[in-house]
Structure 1
Amino acid sequence: MDWKPHAERLAREVTPPVSRWRSAVASTPRHRFVPRWWERESDGTWALRDGHADESAWVSAAYSDTSLVTRVGPWHADHAGPDDRPTGRPTSSSTMFRLVVRMLRHGLLYDGADLGLIGTGTGASTALAVRRLGEGHVTAMDVDPYLTEAATERLDSLGMSPRVVTCDATGSLPGSFDRVVSLVALPNLASVLAALRPGGRLVTTLVRMNVIITADKRPDGVAHGVVEWDRAGFMGTPTGADYPSDTNELFATVRGCDGDQVTAGRYPVLNVAEAWDVRAMMELAVPGVETHYEEHGDQRTAWLVHNDGSWARASATWIDPPEVHQGGPQRLWTVLERIRHRLNAEGGLPVYGSRVHITPDGVCHFTSGGWSASYG
């Protein structure tokens, strides 16, 4: 396969002309890291794609600026058969190079810096980091032993031997680093903060929040930084083969139930997961809330569920006021409407651009003007 022209085109698309990352992208054969992947079908199942069976589709997918899903729940594409049709959420992918480069650039890497890269995935992002820093300065981590094994083999086939470690990023990390960049969303930052050397820099997103946090660690062990005006969506960090199913089971139970409280909503039905500012504020207001959204023609329905048993469902035709059902100890849709009212009244929400300081217990403390919130 003549992959280099495709890699060079991708490099031009995702990096500025003078970026040091351009040559890294142009010289990385991404297809070698993603021989098989999943694509979602219209019925919600996932279909297997095999690069060796269709080279033109392989080149097109591997050198497009998109993320390629390589695991759904516990189902690795590498281990699947052509008739397998898993359902559920993606649990690993080859992240689009544009986003990988952006996250690494937020890290302000420098020659000789030791980088801890959380979320090995296929190993393609590790290859980019090695191109920039050298293999002796890169430690890649993932919770899935198959992923770390496969990534090690694929990197080795390109003559790269960075340290690749199987570990849970919510526990102790294997070493200390000048930079830690996480390509998965983290629920708490205690372990990464502990692994960061004084003066070191952390770049991460948070579970159920699409904010990018950059923070520098001070000698007292506290990291100070900001929520960048940039944003990114990463998968959360599972501690095993799949994510917990508590809220999925609750959603199945309450999907069509009548609520304890039934009211008319003030605002049109919203796909909260795609409204990133609103989603971030919702997580800060009610940590752990999960969202679901469906459209059937002009009919829109959104659900909010929480593992304390709280739930809400709002349904409406197009932008009409919705009928809202709520149950459980918290009124989740009421919280959401307060956030949306603030957005309408003030023209924005305070989380993006806010200051953040991270204490050694891993909790993020956000402040912006008179607003404050904590996470983790």
Structure 2
Amino acid sequence: MTEVVRKHADLAADGTVLTGRPTSTSAMPSLVLRLLRHAQIQDGARILIVGTGSGYPAALAAHRFGAELITSIDISTYLTDAAAGRLDALGLRPTLLIGDGTGPLPGSYDRIVSMTGVRPIPTSWLTALRPGARLVTKIAATPLILCAVKNTDGRAYGQIAWDRGIFTAADTPSQNPREAVPAVTEDTSGEEGMSRFPVARIRPFSDLAVMLELAAPGVRHQYEEHADGRHTIRMSHPDGSWARATACADEPSPVVQGGPRRLWDLWDEVRHDWLLRGSMPAYGAQAVIESNGAVQLSRGTWRCIVQ
């Protein structure tokens, strides 16, 4: 990460350690290239890059297609000014805007490529895309890359690709402030049960983690290994749902969970579904972006709505 709660690393004093929510990260160059390639950009296309960041995506696009065709927008004044300086030193002067990239956008574009994760798709992007124009973005907190072309009916149709890089949700004033995810305590007042699956780490890049994020976005999970060989998973969600399980090796897991939803039951359903299918159904899924920004995903009999 390069910025925490809008405090950039460039401006931090030596030895300073900031804690809190990351508000800007530096994308892997390979991921930036992959997103641009998925955009299938043709000469003469007008391109909007959402998330200026260091200026690297705008530099690549401006060098290849011409700076006069490139617009990039970022909510951070500091990032935009710093990027402008770097680009100018290279003799590249694309249009750099300061503002909410998920809010109303100036002009219309043949390509929109987002360097930040979103969920759902901002309706302003669909408005700014010309019919036949192409959108490429990451679905927030997943490795899923959404590639879609706008139709004359106002919707966009495409497919899901993927890359291991994950973008967290865009931090913008046009969205509701994020709810804090409560930590899971040792509360024993919840509903007790037993999981037939062992306690296992929920890794952010695993197929199972992606399926859980699609089923219940925003779940926070913590994993702990104990000296006696036990493993503990704690899960919590902004709606107040929580779950905790502790077990050794591949033993069935005693579970305690509470709140409006049973997160561990949902986690077990995700694992059961994955075992039956043998793969993550979202990879390669067909995608339809509705006019309200919701994304309908489908692959065979599998269906999911991202909103």
TM norm structure 2: 0.91
User: Cα–Cα, structure 1 residues 210 and 119, in superposed 2: closer, same or farther, change >3 Å?
Assistant: same
Residue matched to 1:290: 220
Closer, same or farther in 2 for the Cα pair 1:133/1:319, shift >3 Å? farther
Equivalent residue, structure 2, for 1:267: 197
The answer on whether the counterparts of 1:277 and 1:351 sit within 8 Å (CA) in structure 2 is no
Gaps of 5+ in 1: 1-68
Please show how residues 100-179 of structure 1 align to structure 2 within 5 Å.
100-179=32-111
Ranges in structure 2 where 5+ consecutive residues have no aligned partner: none
- 1:26 corresponding residue in structure 2: none
Kindly indicate whether the alpha-carbon contact (under 8 Å) linking 2:135 and 2:147 is maintained by their aligned counterparts in 1. yes
Q: Against the structure 1 CA distance between its residues 273 and 137, is the aligned structure 2 distance closer, same or farther, given a 3 Å change threshold?
A: farther
Q: What displacement does 1:89 show?
A: 4.1
Match of 1:279 in 2: 209
TM-superposed CA distance for 1:135, in Å, is 0.7
Range with bigger deviation, 293-302 or 225-234: 293-302
Q: Identify which of structures 1 and 2 has the higher relative contact order when contacts are C-alpha pairs closer than 8 Å and 6+ apart.
A: 2
When residues 198 and 340 of structure 1 are mapped into structure 2, their CA distance, relative to the original with a 3 A threshold, is same
- 1:147-186 CA-partner distances (Å, limit 9, x unpaired): 1121112211222111111121221123211111111101
Q: How many residues align?
A: 303
Structure 2 counterpart SS, 1:274: coil
Report if aligned partners of 2:143, 2:205 keep a CA contact under 8 Å in 1.
no
Match of residue 199 from structure 1: 132
| Residue 88 (1) aligns with residue 20 (2) | yes
Give 1 or 2: higher helix fraction: 1
Quote the offset at 1:209 in angstroms. 2.5
Q: Does 1:308 align with 2:239?
A: yes
> Which residue of 1 is the match for residue 168 of structure 2?
235
User: In the TM superposition, what is the alpha-carbon distance from 1:325 to its structure 2 partner?
Assistant: 1.8
- Please say which of residues 296-305 and 276-285 is displaced more in the overlay: 296-305
Q: Evaluate the alpha carbon distance shift between residue 273 and residue 166 of structure 1 in structure 2; reply closer, same or farther with a 3 A threshold.
A: farther
Percent same amino acid among aligned pairs?
Answer: 41
Report the AA paired with residue 342 of structure 1.
Answer: D
Give the whole-Å Cα distance in 1 for the aligned partners of 2:180 and 2:254: 22
Alignment of 1:234-253 (within 5 A): 234-239=167-172, 246-248=179-181, 250-251=182-183
Q: Quick one: which amino acid aligns to residue 177 of structure 1?
A: Y
Please name the residue that 1:53 is paired with: none
Partner of 1:31: none
Write the letter of the residue equivalent to 1:327: G
1:166 to 1:255, Cα distance in 2 relative to 1, 3 A: farther
Q: How much has 1:338 moved relative to structure 2?
A: 0.7
Task: Give the CA deviation at 1:265.
Answer: 2.3
The 1-side partners of 2:94 and 2:249 are apart by 52
Separation (CA, whole Å) in 2 of partners of 1:267 and 1:70:
38
CA distance, structure 2, for counterparts of residue 268 and residue 170 of structure 1 = 41
